[in-house]
Amino acid sequence: MKKASFSVLFLATVMLFPAISASAWDDVGHKITAYIAWQQMTPEVRERVIKILAAASEDSQLATFYLPYGSRSDEAKKREFFMIAATWADIIRDRNFDNRYKKYHHSNWHYSDTFWTEKDGRVEILKAPEEGGLALEKIIEFMKLESSDARDSEKALGIAWLEHLIGDLHQPLHASARVTATEPKGDQGANLFLLTPVGTPRDKQENLHWFWDSIVVRNKPNERDECDADFVDPIARSIMKKYSFQEMESRLALGDPERWKRESFEIASTRLFPADLKRNEMPSSEYKKAAMKIAEERLALAGYRMGALFNQIFGSAAVKP
């Protein structure tokens, strides 16, 4: 692989305008997946990954999220840095940091859509009328970064992107562009499927994509305003308990990210648009619970895949340049 400049952008900010959101999972979802991945990573790989992340180019501002001071253990600080890095690609969406935004943000890296429609009760895959996103291609590219001759400052951005995009690809609507009479060119991962009444001001609109991005906090809101260690980490551990690594190990398919995409697409096209889901109406409580169950499994699988993949890429047995 030739020397690449791994352009990247950071962290998932909670969107103020969900109707135009293009992210996948909110910051809580991405941090859950990163926490699960961290638990699978060997001590050697953790150290290697943190060392690289800390070497990120200064203008990316990625390394500034590592806080070596304070009373918490070094292990906790490194884990939280790794978790924040998983959100960096959304953080850099902030246009108030214009130079960072222009250099590192890539909106079409966050999804990899399959265009489809429903015909006679069956899913029919369509030819893409436009580019469907580069998430899959970028994951494949960044999987090769440790064996490249890129500098650590470049690899750091590749790691942050890889953390984020693995999470993105496991959000079902990041693999889906549903074509209907209302959305003849695709619904942009259900960003165009509004859940709020017709006439709702744009800054108060909600759509199905954002509903799924924020499904964890919709079911488990942070009512006590707890820090990540007290709020996110227990949710991640609960998910790991429900979906153990041993149970999912046979499904990892580390060398086949196309399979990860197919899984998400199948879920989106067969389970996310039931007959009782109506435009301009919020989904039922039953739909919300079912969405949470799907999301927990996808978050767990993404985390286990990420952790095992990082062990494979950054472990001592990995091929080095």
pLDDT tens-digit readout, 77-113:
999 999 999 999 999 999 999 999 999 999 999 999 9
One DSSP character per residue, 131-172 reads ---SHHHHHHHHTTGGGS---HHHHHHHHHHHHHHHHHHTSG
* Confidence at residue 147, expressed as pLDDT on a 0 to 100 scale: 85
Contact predicate 128/31, CB 8 Å: no
**pLDDT-based confidence at residue 24 (cuts at 50, 70, 90):** low
Own/partner pairs for 187-191, CB < 8 Å, 24+ apart?
A: 188/22, 189/22, 189/111, 189/113, 190/272, 191/19, 191/20, 191/21, 191/22
Contact predicate 89/160, CB 8 Å: yes
Q: End-to-end distance of the chain based on CA atoms, in angstroms? A: 10
> Where does the chain show beta strands of DSSP type E?
114-119, 122-125, 176-178
How many Å is the Cα radius of gyration of the chain?
19
Contact predicate 173/268, CB 8 Å: yes
Sheet holding 122-125, edge to edge: 122-125, 114-119, 176-178
* Confidence at residue 166, expressed as pLDDT on a 0 to 100 scale: 98
Instruction: Give ∠ CA 261-193-284 in degrees, rounded to 5.
Output: 95
* Confidence at residue 1, expressed as pLDDT on a 0 to 100 scale: 36
Which DSSP state fits 207?
B
Instruction: Give ∠ CA 21-226-288 in degrees, rounded to 5.
Output: 45
What would the two tokens of residue 193 be? 């499927």
Q: What is the pLDDT of residues 226-275, one digit of tens each?
A: 999 999 999 999 999 999 999 999 999 999 999 999 999 999 999 999 99
Distances (CA, A) of 42 to 144, 164, 291, 310: 19, 20, 32, 9
Assigned architecture for domain 18-314 = Orthogonal Bundle (1.10)
Residues 6 or more apart whose Cβ sits within 8 Å of residue 249: 304
Residues 6 or more apart whose Cβ sits within 8 Å of residue 194: 19, 200, 205, 206, 207, 279, 280
Across 144-173, average pLDDT? 95
Contact predicate 212/291, CB 8 Å: yes
Contact predicate 260/170, CB 8 Å: yes
Q: What predicted TM-score, i.e. pTM, was given to this entire model?
A: 0.91
* Confidence at residue 216, expressed as pLDDT on a 0 to 100 scale: 97
| Distance (Å, whole) CA 276 – CA 247 | 32
* Confidence at residue 129, expressed as pLDDT on a 0 to 100 scale: 80
| Distance (Å, whole) CA 201 – CA 197 | 10
Is the pLDDT confidence value at 27 over 80? yes
| Distance (Å, whole) CA 32 – CA 239 | 9
Tally the residues of the chain. 321
Task: For the beta carbon of residue 124, count every other beta carbon within 10 angstroms.
Answer: 12
